[in-house]
Structure 1
Amino acid sequence: MNIGDKVYLKAVGNMAVKYKDQLLIKESKITKVGRKYFEVDGVKFKMENKEQETGGYTADWKLYFSKQEILDEQEFQKLERDIRSKFNAFGKLDLTLDQLKRINEIINE
């Protein structure tokens, strides 16, 4: 990670509730880089796992390095919901996006 690298922030937690009518995604750049943390628009993220440093509170932002990562995550969640509704299943599925797409094609034929 370097200063000036482009990143994308997606609203989560309380920030997502505040903007519930719309998906809030901000394109931004890394402004500071340290040993343990880096900053984007004044928001600190941990270097080790890219999670927001919250000081014990709920995170407001989730960091991504491309907009496609966000779109893939949304598609995954939608397919997961659709498949669960077909099978009335709960819990986390241990499947990839491609596997979910193929399952979705099969069950919707």
Structure 2
Amino acid sequence: MKQYQFKKEQKVYLTLGVNRSRDNKKEYIEGVVTKLGRKYVTVKIGYSEYQFDLTNRLKQKTEYAQDYYLYETLEDLIDEKERDKLEAELASYFSSTYHFEGKLTLDQMQRIKEIISE
């Protein structure tokens, strides 16, 4: 489990969660850490505060769908977006044998298998 290093008054970054009613055109929103506890970090966005679970991958504490996803740094947010994009590309590439057939050499396939086996 990742150890988070939040500090009070730290600038943090968020993306819109499942609840898209806050349809913001920005890629991310900045917030500020206002409280730190053993289990939760509280982040202020505008005039509202939200709690995120330090023990459960920064999942927002809510009884409904998450409004926001929290990232400790802008780099974490960018990395996750890039990972999601690459995951979709790879899934698309490998999901259909029709599209996959003949695209890779045996050597390329063996190297991919080695990477996957790491």
Report the TM-score range of the alignment, normalised by the length of the smaller protein. 0.5 to 0.7
- State the distance in 2 between where 1:83 and 1:58 align: 28
Residue segments in structure 1 that go unaligned for 5+ positions in a row: 90-101, 104-109
Pairing 1:66-77 to 2, within 5 Å after superposition? 66-77=73-84
User: Which letter maps to 2:41?
Assistant: F
DSSP-derived class of the 2:88 partner: helix
Alignment-derived partner of residue 99 in structure 2 = none
Flag the 1:48–1:4 CA change in 2: closer, same or farther, 3 A: same
Deviation at 1:18, TM superposition (A): 4.5
Of 5, 15, 25, which aligns to 1:10? 15
Aligned to 2:35: 32
Q: How many residues align?
A: 88
Larger Rg: 2
Whether 2:60 is the aligned partner of 1:52: answer: yes
Identity %: 35
User: What's the offset of the Cα at 1:73?
Assistant: 1.2
- Displacement of 1:19 after TM fit? 2.1
1:85 maps to what in 2? 92
Question: 2: distance between equivalents of 1:5 and 1:18?
Answer: 23
Structure 1 runs, 4 residues or longer, greater than 4 Å off: none
Change (3 A) 1:79 1:34: closer
Letter matched to residue 83 of structure 2: F
Q: Which structure 2 segments of 5+ residues have no match?
A: 1-5, 97-110, 113-118
Measured on the aligned residues, the alpha-carbon RMSD in Å equals 2.4
Residue 19 (1) aligns with residue 26 (2): no
1:38–1:80 CA distance, 2 compared to 1 (3 A): closer
